[in-house]
Structure 1
């Protein structure tokens, strides 16, 4: 998933008076950063600079009115982004150590969205955690079904945390995992990302997104990505809810790379260029028949591959 627009940045001509800061949020051509003393500075992003995003370490110049101008960013260790098409990328967060995929009880729970984030996670080498939130809303009728659906991911090696901001279940586990790390919360609207931030950071002023009962889609109350500090030395980035996570910039090999349980079977396919669709002697399809790979994950792979 490396892209010239994201893996490299323009050489920055520094005058020597620039200061470094941590970008905590952006809104249009403006941003807020923390300076070396932890003070928040309102800044303008220069038009000729590379795009910057929450989590970036940036170079900036102070202005006489107390604001600042961002002139560029330092090299990134990681960058999460989605693809609206093969050429247009949407930056989500920089310098992150973990992608926290947040979901909730039906109708929100979507393996398709989880799988798309996992493709990004695997190709960007950023660990992913699946956080099933709002367990206090589970019923006797759907608890077993949901556990079975999420156990699929636990069995192939992903960490799955069950949480509730009402009962506080799972929050200490998430907080411990994020110690000295920077994580980004991603997922659909209305899954409780802002409520999780509020509990872990005690930022009670955050607007809370609720599901629209009329459309069963989330209301987009979180409109900007924002970084919050945790007491354990970690950081947590809240990102706006999405209705889909675009992978239009990802190629077929990268889609395959996102399904980690396929890897041990790939060398057994009859043809080296097997796409695991209609080809004879496909070890992946045989693994599905043998229940070594779930039908749901295989169909998810086929659906995403068909978009390429």
Structure 2
């Protein structure tokens, strides 16, 4: 992958300034790498008012006679993937994400409340979600709990897939899902996200090297959110910030909307601002008492609600 801008004599000023569409592959410092419609990548500098540009933004840009380019416009985003840093500050990671794969595994033991937090964030973006149970070739120390959780998510309409990089289980089906758009993998440390990414992008080191050379940043490109085209179709965003992704506190109304089983029930609550905890006439609590809502999911909601109010 190399800079395709080759300028010779006879290139007119109007040709240079002609605006063209592109997609931001990655950002490094004050510059970005932009992929054009032909798959060529160009180093560009966003105009001062566009300093907020992030990975996977759709942009307009034009080349300069120097060989680099200028980003002149950032097009409206369908969504924005954010994470919360250790200080509790929100950090932008990538835009226009179609799908988020929530990765779990037998080891470390799945944190289903954390999966629920991811799903709330995904619903709020919004984006499609896939719940992935990785390392399926290994013994599960608590198969009944895993089965109950995964079956419960399926009942809510979330697709569930079991995979193993070691024996190839489910990898073709994962590729089919990822081919539907631009995706990102999230989940606990140690569940095998890096192994999955390496299996999906076997030439990742070569691609990183090419982008690093083009950016002039050396191997520092590995610390930035970067979008890669997948051999199976679609694209995958890879970033340490994504791998360690942690969703932040969510306002009560958004939190309740993030639990899909609450959506059709909440309008029937007596109070429009019902928190679904202590209010009389709560349709969500009535459904819980009638066994229509999983008690574990409801407990997860209450825990997240309490954390949001601290």
Contact 2:17 2:62 in 1 (8 A): no
Contact 1:113 1:245 in 2 (8 A): no
- After superposition, give the CA deviation of every residue in 1:65-123 in whole Å (9 maximum; x if it has no partner): 533343432222333234669x9642222222212122222435222322222122223
SS at match of 2:132: strand
- After superposition, give the CA deviation of every residue in 1:202-248 in whole Å (9 maximum; x if it has no partner): 225389xxxxxxxxxxxxx963222111234311222322262113x
Measure how far apart 1:129 and its partner are: 1.1
* Distance in 1 of aligned mates of 2:115 and 2:151: 13
- Structure with the higher helix share, 1 or 2: 2
- What is residue 153 of structure 2 aligned with on the other side? 153
Change (3 A) 1:33 1:193: farther
Measure how far apart 1:151 and its partner are: 1.8
| Unmatched tracts of structure 1, length 5 or more | 1-14, 208-220
Contact 1:52 1:72 in 2 (8 A): no
Contact 2:62 2:72 in 1 (8 A): yes
SS at match of 1:24: strand
Measure how far apart 1:131 and its partner are: 1.4
Alignment of 1:261-272 (within 5 A): 261-272=261-272
| Unmatched tracts of structure 2, length 5 or more | 1-15, 208-220
How well do the aligned residues superpose, as a CA RMSD in angstroms?
A: 2.9
* Distance in 2 of aligned mates of 1:151 and 1:133: 16
Change (3 A) 1:206 1:223: farther
- After superposition, give the CA deviation of every residue in 1:10-62 in whole Å (9 maximum; x if it has no partner): xxxxx953333221122332332223332222334444314122211223343
- What is residue 7 of structure 1 aligned with on the other side? none
- What is residue 54 of structure 2 aligned with on the other side? 53
Change (3 A) 1:265 1:20: closer
- What is residue 187 of structure 1 aligned with on the other side? 187
* Distance in 2 of aligned mates of 1:243 and 1:83: 7
Contact 2:83 2:245 in 1 (8 A): no
Q: Does 1:244 align with 2:216?
A: no
Measure how far apart 1:257 and its partner are: 0.3
* Distance in 1 of aligned mates of 2:222 and 2:204: 14
* Distance in 2 of aligned mates of 1:223 and 1:150: 33
* Distance in 1 of aligned mates of 2:270 and 2:203: 56
- What is residue 169 of structure 1 aligned with on the other side? 169
TM-score normalised according to structure 1 size? 0.78
- What is residue 133 of structure 1 aligned with on the other side? 134
- What is residue 281 of structure 1 aligned with on the other side? 281
Contact 1:265 1:284 in 2 (8 A): yes
Change (3 A) 1:79 1:158: same
- What is residue 6 of structure 1 aligned with on the other side? none
- What is residue 143 of structure 2 aligned with on the other side? 143
- What is residue 305 of structure 1 aligned with on the other side? 305
Q: Between Structure 1 and Structure 2, whose CA radius of gyration is higher?
A: 2
